[in-house]
Amino acid sequence: MARCGYSASDTLLNAGGELEDATLLDFWQWAYADLCDDENKGIFAEWLVARLIGITKTRRIGWANSDLITPDGVRIEIKSSSYWQSWKLIDEFGVTRQQPLYPVSNETRIAFAGLKARDAVAVPDPSIPPEFKSHVYIFAFQREAEVERWNALDLSQWEFYVLPANRIRELGWKSVSLKSLRVEHPPLSASDLRPAALRVIDDVKREMGIPAHPSEARV
């Protein structure tokens, strides 16, 4: 069986010389340290939301139909966006530009796409149209507009929105702009996200006929 899980301290096998002490942490820092990169930002947002709402997950499954799945089977999708992206701030050699390549993103143009998708874990069937694959959608927006202050690790710079898939269906959204989200749902701070998300998850559980057990973890 192929080994798919590793720890930060694991080293390269059958390596010598300069590679002898290279660890998986070295790779992670090389590949994922830039949290302003669009791909990394999305993965970070998935991890951040999972931690904020209390879902324990040992690893990310990038091809899963949902980003998070509660023990009761409630599926959660996380969508993220930001005013800034790395390609505006650094060149292809990783050197910071003296001035951003483009100005800060216009708030009216920020949107979250791909709310519907086809089944990713089954054999593809093009005759089946894209659908909402999760029960709950959480939108994470890094709202810092001043490039000098932008910091993905600063939770005060994030705002969140939680909507059940049924509400998104009612609104007819295949994608949604930040402006529309703010009209539909007041922004949540990092500390507000957990209780708001748990309320929506509990509503979904009731719709699914899953009984609530006060003594167990709510997610």
Residue 214 in domain? no
Q: Across residues 197-218, what is the average pLDDT? A: 78
C-alpha separations of 78 from 7, 46, 147, 197, 216 in Å: 25, 6, 24, 12, 24
Distance CA 212, CA 172 (A): 30
Residue 218 has pLDDT above 50, yes or no: no
Nearest to 110 by CA among 66, 70, 141: 141
What pLDDT is recorded for position 219?
45
What pLDDT is recorded for position 190?
97
Residue 3 in domain? no
Ramachandran area for residue 203 (φ above 0: left; ψ -120 to 50: alpha; else beta): alpha
Q: Residue 163: phi, psi to the nearest 5? A: -140, 140
What pLDDT is recorded for position 212?
64
| 3-state SS assignment for residue 7 | coil
Give residue 133's domain range: 34-208
Number of domains in the chain: 1
Residue 22 in domain? no
What pLDDT is recorded for position 217?
42
Residue 218 in domain? no
Residue 178 in domain? yes
Q: Across residues 102-131, what is the average pLDDT? A: 89
Q: Across residues 93-121, what is the average pLDDT? A: 91
User: Confidence class of residue 216 from pLDDT cuts 50, 70 and 90?
Assistant: very low
Q: Across residues 148-165, what is the average pLDDT? A: 97
Residue 77 in domain? yes
Nearest to 72 by CA among 213, 195, 215: 213
Residue 19 in domain? no
Residue 214 has pLDDT above 50, yes or no: no
Q: Residue 29: phi, psi to the nearest 5? A: -65, -40
Residue 4 in domain? no
C-alpha separations of 41 from 6, 80, 133, 141, 162 in Å: 22, 7, 22, 10, 19
Is 20 or 110 the better-scoring residue by pLDDT?
110
Residue 109 has pLDDT above 70, yes or no: yes
Q: What is the rounded average pLDDT for all residues in the chain?
A: 91
| 3-state SS assignment for residue 137 | strand
Element (H, E) at 27: helix 24-32
List the Cα angle 32/34/40 in 5-degree steps. 55
What pLDDT is recorded for position 1?
63
Per residue in 162-174, pLDDT tens?
999 999 999 999 9
Is 120 or 196 the better-scoring residue by pLDDT?
196
- Which residues, including other chains, have CB under 8 Å from residue 29's CB and lie 6 or more apart? none
Q: Is 99:91 a contact under the CB 8 Å cutoff?
A: no
AA identity, residue 210:
I
**Structure token pair of residue 200:** 């929506």
- DSSP summary character for residue 14: T
Per residue in 43-99, pLDDT tens?
999 999 999 999 988 889 999 999 999 999 999 999 999 999 999 999 999 999 999
Indicate the pTM of the whole model.
0.91
